[in-house]
Structure 1
Amino acid sequence: MWQQFTLRTIPMEDWRSASWVGQLVGLFQGWRRGSVIWPWAGAIASILLSLVLILAPFVPTTMIGMLLVACTGFWLLWTLVEPSQGRLSGVHLLITVFWGIALLATGLSPVKSAALIGLAKLSLYLAFFALAERTLRSPQRRSQVITVYLLVALAVSVEAMRQWFFGAEPLATWTDPESSLANVTRVYSFLGNPNLLAGYLLPAIPLSGAAIFAWRGWLPKLLAVVMLVLNGSSLVLTFSRGGWLGLVATLLTMALLLLVWLLPRLPRFWQRWGILLLLSGLGLFLVAAVLVVPALRERVASIFVARGDSSNNFRINVWTAVEAMIRDRPWLGIGPGNDAFNRVYPLFQTSTRFTALSAYSIFLELLVEVGIIGFTVFLWFLVVLGDRGWRGLITLRDRGSRELFWLIAALSTVAGMLTHGLVDTIWYRPEVATLWWLMVAIIVSSTEIVSSREMPAPSSRSD
């Protein structure tokens, strides 16, 4: 039953060979034989992905959108030209189903024109995932793309540290003015918002940690350590409570998965008590950090004061209005995108003082946009993705492949971003949304290598 629920046994290849849509794959493969540039298709796709990651923190969202259009076009061309796109999986199926539900929600939306814009954005992100998943099946290209992101994140973190030491003008009121932390610098680097910066840097922490194990040579490993320290410090200095929660979930998940990797090599005592001791040690470290650092202690305490903090009070009022929006259209929602949300939310807001651009929770946002049906498919997608990642992790561990560390980092990031998303929706900004789909692509492409019958077992050498 579990195998059926996680879609392990679904005959995706049989469907594709019999489907009219599936037969479009490789339709123009004759052109490929005479093409001069097509042997470089993988490199071109890698460059397009890298351009998105390089420019995302520094350019307007319109330019990011243009790059995503280019990625979409190239993925479509690749699909029509390449006769074999590799194995389809339950993850691909559920992403397609989710897109179909979003399309239906758009058609039934009370604000169709606004929802259509949201559907277009969602389609671009899903095409980015499809191109990334196809490209990152090559371990070498996966390492290259991850390295590009880590180097860009390093530049972003350096600017954040400069703001911390030399000061930065706040671009908005991010802290309760009545709090003792009102004058504390919250770094935002090039992204203009500390919460957004926290979401952007969250994947960089487990990936730089994984690079310590995956990269060969002392200099690359030293660079990875520097990245880990700067990225972690910068995220903490955003004073983003959601970012901190995401960081805790990320580190906890990564520690547990690394322990799974280590367990077969450990003595019996550590195999039996290792997980309990690890959890206890992390818990004591976090408690000690909160008790010793005053600014950290006060910021963490503000999470539990409910309406006593202005930021909490604002979110609670928004969530109250969002609950009414969900009750009004429970099954398919109002349609995807923040434009649709901005058109409908004023009809439900309890006060003109609490206008909002989003639901301030990705889970509530999904319920508003695609209703209970779409939200259920999203949860199903997370289960299937986690199951696929877990099976890939065990297989890569048994094979002794260094690709395991990138997979651990991606799974940890997914846990952290979902935790951060409980109280924020920076997940929908292109700087962060592209990273979310990049993590999903890393998980699926890593397990694609594991499950492919044509691929030999990976060696322990890092590509």
Structure 2
Amino acid sequence: MAMYVVALSISIAGMEIFAGFLLIYALTHYAYQCANRRKEAKKGEWSCPQLSIGIDGYVFGFWGILVLGAIFIPDLQMPDRIYIIGEGRWIILLYVLVYIFRSHQFDFRTSSLFVLGLYLLVSLLSASEFFTGLVPLKNSTVDLLDIGGHFSAYRVSGYFGNSMTYAHNIGLWFSLFLSFVLFSRKILKINKVLLYVVFVVTSMALFLTFTRGVWLSVGVAVSIMLLVVYRKRAFYFIGSGAFIVLVLALTLPMIKSRLTHIMDESNQGRINLWKANVAMFLDHPFLGVGYRQNAKNTLKYYDKLNIDSDFASHAHNNYLQVLAGTGIFGLIFYLIFNGVLIYWAYRVYRENKDTDPITAAIGLGLFMAYIHLHIGGLSEANFQDGEISHSFVFLSALLIASKDRPVLINKNS
């Protein structure tokens, strides 16, 4: 598990490899538990641990639409059909992680020190890229920022080599860290200084990605979180934050440039992609063109719509990506299981805020993280990026397991 968590911050290949090891471990542990329980169970009784996660029908409904599309959509090549079916494997990983969290309890102090230390190191190394254009032990090309003068600066992309991917990913963890900052006075055995430092450094790394969609999504998520937690004082905090953003935009040319060039060429490319994906859905309303096959069909639809562009990519919008790729039923399942997770996160926070601050912090952090993910998904197909979906699955599994009982506990306290 520790190696998988490390991989979540630096390597998609590591995520896939260690996810495979977790699957093997979970299957072995489950078989062992079944065998032990069978000895004590009465004849005819089900003796194995619970596997249901509460959104089973919705996630498997979504995967079922993928499978139906892979089977019945014409003109797909066999490798594409296999690929589409395999893209639902994150659902298996979700069950694996929920099972591991349910069947184990983790010491909060040890776990928090490990995660905070990891993200302090990764965020510091990533933020250094702003000055050097390089991340230690990572060979990648980054975007040079136009800031004027003789000083060179670069968009931070972290160990994923892509500023948008890193920003959307770190936004999930930023949300969790902020939640624990808010609950830090109530939580025993948490290193508050380390937590505050990690929060500041992570915030800095996220800001230095210069990803406008994430600036917006995190801003909206923080605002909603403040309304949930503080209510009457929330507007004061939100107003203060908006004033700070305005001052920064007026005084720092690099920020002003990012905010004033909303309709630059890259965003016109997004609009073209949205038009093409709407057309894909209208032509294929029930099964779509095939999950994550959008980019392969883009140029054909540009010709059909008389769009003069050769920029073929995913839809740069989660909802259009799913709608065009899987049809209306795929989008319905996608919206339902994500909506349920948002509700659960809020409920976990509300039910535990006065009795179990660790679990409440998980609920509030995930509530904010989901809002960030789905607001950010309006301008980027962030759910389809493995680097982001792995963190989404890991944190969602932690939430689902925490809904039933505490997963992170202060032992011997």
Normalization by structure 1: what TM-score? Answer: 0.73
1:53 aligns with 2:12: no
The 1:360–1:62 alpha-carbon spacing in structure 2 relative to 1, beyond 3 Å, is: same
One-letter amino acid matched to 2:208: L
1:250–1:413 Cα contact (<8 Å) kept: yes
How far residue 240 of structure 1 moved from its aligned partner, in angstroms, is 0.9
The 1:128–1:140 alpha-carbon spacing in structure 2 relative to 1, beyond 3 Å, is: same
How far residue 462 of structure 1 moved from its aligned partner, in angstroms, is 9.7
Q: Given the alignment, which residue of 64, 78, 97 partners 1:100?
A: 64
1:127-206 matches, cutoff 5 A: 127-137=92-102, 138=104, 140=106, 148-168=114-134, 184-206=153-175
The answer to which of 132-141 and 94-103 deviates more is: 132-141
One-letter amino acid matched to 2:94: F
Q: Distance between the aligned counterparts of 1:131 and 1:151, measured in 2? A: 25
Q: Distance between the aligned counterparts of 1:422 and 1:85, measured in 2? A: 39
The 1:205–1:423 alpha-carbon spacing in structure 2 relative to 1, beyond 3 Å, is: same
Q: Distance between the aligned counterparts of 2:315 and 2:204, measured in 1? A: 28
One-letter amino acid matched to 1:235: L
1:345 match? 298
Q: CA offsets, 1:318-347, max 9 Å, x none?
A: 22222221111111112223xx33433332
The 1:107–1:89 alpha-carbon spacing in structure 2 relative to 1, beyond 3 Å, is: same
The 1:403–1:381 alpha-carbon spacing in structure 2 relative to 1, beyond 3 Å, is: same
The answer to which of 228-237 and 283-292 deviates more is: 283-292
One-letter amino acid matched to 1:100: G
How far residue 299 of structure 1 moved from its aligned partner, in angstroms, is 0.9
1:248 aligns with 2:213: no
1:43 match? none
1:199–1:243 Cα contact (<8 Å) kept: yes
2:253 match? 294
1:284 aligns with 2:255: no
How far residue 216 of structure 1 moved from its aligned partner, in angstroms, is 3.6
Root-mean-square deviation (CA, aligned residues, Å) is: 3.3
Q: Given the alignment, which residue of 378, 392, 397 partners 1:441?
A: 397
Q: Distance between the aligned counterparts of 2:206 and 2:246, measured in 1? A: 18
1:431 match? 387
The 1:336–1:217 alpha-carbon spacing in structure 2 relative to 1, beyond 3 Å, is: same
Q: Distance between the aligned counterparts of 2:70 and 2:84, measured in 1? A: 9
2:273–2:298 Cα contact (<8 Å) kept: no
The answer to which of 67-76 and 142-151 deviates more is: 142-151
Normalization by structure 2: what TM-score? Answer: 0.81
Corresponding residue SS for 2:73 = coil
1:199–1:427 Cα contact (<8 Å) kept: no
How far residue 403 of structure 1 moved from its aligned partner, in angstroms, is 1.6
Q: What number of residue pairs does the alignment pair up? A: 387
1:313 match? 268
> Percent identity among equivalent residues?
19
How far residue 282 of structure 1 moved from its aligned partner, in angstroms, is 3.6
Q: CA offsets, 1:163-198, max 9 Å, x none?
A: 223344996685898x97996421112221111111
2:73 match? 109
1:64 match? 15
Q: Given the alignment, which residue of 233, 246, 249 partners 1:274?
A: 233
2:229 match? 258
How far residue 142 of structure 1 moved from its aligned partner, in angstroms, is 7.3
1:8-87 matches, cutoff 5 A: 47=1, 50-59=2-11, 61-82=12-33, 83-86=47-50
Q: Distance between the aligned counterparts of 1:358 and 1:144, measured in 2? A: 40
One-letter amino acid matched to 1:300: L
1:367-382 matches, cutoff 5 A: 367-382=323-338
One-letter amino acid matched to 1:54: V
How far residue 203 of structure 1 moved from its aligned partner, in angstroms, is 1.9
2:41 match? none
Corresponding residue SS for 2:220 = helix
Q: CA offsets, 1:43-71, max 9 Å, x none?
A: xxxx2xx3223134544x44533333333
1:392 match? 348
One-letter amino acid matched to 2:227: L
Q: Distance between the aligned counterparts of 1:244 and 1:316, measured in 2? A: 20
1:203–1:413 Cα contact (<8 Å) kept: yes
Q: CA offsets, 1:237-289, max 9 Å, x none?
A: 11111221222133223323433xxxxxxxxxxx6x33444444443343344
